[in-house]
Structure 1
């Protein structure tokens, strides 16, 4: 009897624009964002600045780099597009919890690991990458899954590949999010198991950090800490939220009760979206779209 192979992923969102055509793939950018327990896929037409596809997957939990690579191989092999190798550009974005945003003037390739160790614990076995964040003069240093990246490079040998990190892509989205509000803006991105908070003023980044969330009360705790640090009034400041939270949910209402000025964030105006994307709330996948600004 042949053993049935366990399925290691589940699709939770899929939207495809009618304008997508395989005949124009050479002008499309493929974005693959990889987290511990999830994966997002996005395709953007770089000539029309139009988002053509967005998919979201939940992955089985694993601490093994090799098993994560096998998970992705299983998903890709059943997908109608991901094994195609002639994209204009492929952006591979990791969502690892170990990262640092360093001013460009302080960065050197030789000191990348040392700079990252100033911000978090880095093991000798950790693979460390870096790249220039396009929206400001900073370098994003981060850890990544070596097995996954090696396999993806073997798939996309005919495409230009860039490797990024979720934190830098959120910074891109925040700093490219016109029109700018007057004064400082506190931007919250609620991810699965994490919360990211950025503070910006016009096109300048003042603060960015990520917090592991174990219970709901921690959202309010960390938001209050950031507001206090910048001496901002919770009743009368620019406070926006994006990510995995629904506008009519009990969680949003609870946060709104604690922070009356809180509002739902908007989708980036730099990209075009067809009517098919109306089914996706505008405040979701803000991080994924940020990869477009690192082309």
Structure 2
């Protein structure tokens, strides 16, 4: 099993279309997206949320059921990328990274079992994301598609936002990527990543607390920094309204992809599927 590299998936596809499938896996939901790479059209995009957080074995059972139900997912594809969204990660400077000691980097912020497989993604700016993927799910998709690429969702988030063009790179920008009951917080200043972490929250007060506490620890003034939102959050959400009371400069991330959607695949909010689309 290899991560952070691209592979061609061998299929029996006799069509002229060149399709790529992106899959996002978390313990509380799944998302799938299929892009026709020739026409630049997204022809399938669907999200499946669980009623509660499941363990990886039950998540795999849901994946198997979804593949039985969704005919579109059974079509041949030419390329696959699998994203894991969890908090089982840590960032390490590349010059300090030792693959033989990968588990050692994680032991300070997560419980590691002897059976856990440790993976890593090399990111821009000399960063390595060390994380624990779900091997049963990797094996399932390997059996289905052959070799494919998999990454941690945070890796996609960091690389894409570091390359996102802005007018003023010097001022600190706080990016909050919201998912169900959690969010990733990235801080970029002078074009460099200075902070990245994930937080679980239950209330809007929790949401704001982690954001303001982090800003305070890093001596960032809520009246001066820019807060940029993406993911599963809208202007009418409680979290947004509470942030608006304390932070002066708030915006949503602008256009982030060149694709068009077929009618049946058009999402209500494109930003809610940011990682899935950005990985295509």
Measure, in 1, the Cα distance between the counterparts of 2:66 and 2:255. Answer: 28
CA 1:54–1:172 in 2, change beyond 3 Å: closer, same or farther?
A: farther
Q: Please say if 1:95 is aligned against 2:85.
A: yes
SS in 2 for 1:283: helix
Measure, in 1, the Cα distance between the counterparts of 2:274 and 2:160. Answer: 7
Partner of residue 167, structure 1: 154
Partner of residue 127, structure 1: 117
Cα deviation code 1:27-72 (max 9, x no counterpart): 2221100011111112234456554432111135464433221211
Measure, in 2, the Cα distance between the counterparts of 1:72 and 1:250. Answer: 31
Measure, in 2, the Cα distance between the counterparts of 1:46 and 1:201. Answer: 34
Q: Please say if 1:141 is aligned against 2:138.
A: no
CA drift of 1:230 comes to 3.2
SS in 1 for 2:272: coil
Higher RCO (Cα < 8 Å, 6 or more apart): 2
Partner of residue 33, structure 1: 24
Measure, in 2, the Cα distance between the counterparts of 1:180 and 1:111. Answer: 40
Partner of residue 206, structure 1: 194
SS in 2 for 1:233: coil
Contact 2:44/2:72 (<8 A) preserved: no
Q: Please say if 1:23 is aligned against 2:12.
A: no
Q: TM-score under structure 1 normalisation?
A: 0.80
CA drift of 1:127 comes to 2.6
Which 5+ residue runs of structure 1 have no aligned equivalent? 1-21
CA drift of 1:202 comes to 5.3
The number of residue pairs the alignment matches comes to: 266
Q: Once superposed, what is the RMSD of the aligned Cα atoms?
A: 2.5
Partner of residue 115, structure 1: 105
Contact 2:20/2:79 (<8 A) preserved: yes
Which 5+ residue runs of structure 2 have no aligned equivalent? 1-13
Q: Please say if 1:239 is aligned against 2:239.
A: no
Contact 1:176/1:268 (<8 A) preserved: no
CA drift of 1:200 comes to 1.1
Contact 1:266/1:282 (<8 A) preserved: no
CA 1:75–1:114 in 2, change beyond 3 Å: closer, same or farther?
A: same
